[in-house]
Amino acid sequence: MLIIKFSVLMSVYKKENPIYLSDSLESILVNQNLKPDELVLVKDGPLTDELEKVITRYQGYFTNFKTVPLDTNVGLGLALREGLEHCSYELVARMDSDDIAKPNRFEEQLNYFQEHPEIDILGSAVTEINSGIDEVISEKKMPLSHEAILTYMKRRNPFCHMTVVFKKSAVQKSGSYQSLDLVEDYYLWVRMAAQGCRFANMEQSLVYARIGNGMHLRRSQPTQITSWKVINDFMLKEKMIDRRDWIKNLLLVIAFVYMPLGLKKRVYKRILRKQK
């Protein structure tokens, strides 16, 4: 019998689709085999009336629903940093406001933590969809073991952010979330690795992740190069990579950012969605 209590941490901003937010909240507060003990939802700046109505409706379904309103939009990293301070429990599950958790997600992950208490962060594979769960695009597999994750981390983000459950204390001792455009999560993982944290991914897919909402366009922003350089510099300083890796990583990111959109989609489909 599961006795571990846990929080769910989310952030939403004004451009989110109210239907997607409703789907996300329904999946974690109503449809889960194991429901959370607490939901912390950061309002990253003022929201639309439609989003506020969705939040109010689900607050009526779930009593321990905390909202953390921010006066201005600060971005995902700083919003999650603030939200984490309001999480009451050591185990915290991340969820995105436009994705859908499968009904067994929390049950499977909390069972894993009970069996592997040494783990500090646990993710899973994801099923990538367009807008609905009947529009499956692909399944994204991730490296499973701690050692495989550390190797994968040298080149790419080793976790699907919306799938992770982590220990609050491990995240905070690593500096918590920080602002780094598009890769706030990846930057946190490499800092956790430098602190000696233990990692794992589950083989099964536990979340439906919407990727039909501009993902490839976001990956074409030049700011991604600057963000990746910050991560690359950190890994080099911590001797997680060498100078040759540093150069290779940066060249690959530059090439990918400026790659034509159609080619980028094919690369995602044929190469980047294969398990390494």
Domain ranges of the chain: 6-272
- State which CATH number among 3.40.1390.30, 2.30.110.10, 3.40.1180.10, 3.90.550.10 fits the domain covering 6-272: 3.90.550.10
Beta bridge partners of 121: 166, 199
Distance, CA of 216 to CA of 82 (rounded, Å): 28
**pLDDT of amino acid 191:** 98
Which residues, 6 or more positions from 197, have their beta carbon under 8 angstroms from its beta carbon? 120, 121, 170, 174
Beta bridge partners of 209: 128
pTM of structure: 0.90
Nearest to 168 by CA among 202, 192, 150: 192
**pLDDT of amino acid 133:** 86
**pLDDT of amino acid 275:** 37
Strand residues in 15-115 grouped as ranges (E):
38-43, 65-69, 91-94, 100-101
Phi, psi of 53 (to 5 degrees): -65, -40
CA within 13 Å, CB half, 105: 33
Q: Taking a C-beta distance cutoff of 8 angstroms, is the pair 83, 68 a contact?
A: yes
* Mean pLDDT split into 10-residue runs, the chain, 276 residues: 86 96 97 96 98 97 95 97 98 96 98 96 95 87 97 95 98 97 95 98 96 58 86 96 94 82 64 46
Phi, psi of 264 (to 5 degrees): -60, -40
Nearest to 153 by CA among 202, 106, 181, 192: 192
Phi, psi of 178 (to 5 degrees): -130, 165
**pLDDT of amino acid 270:** 59
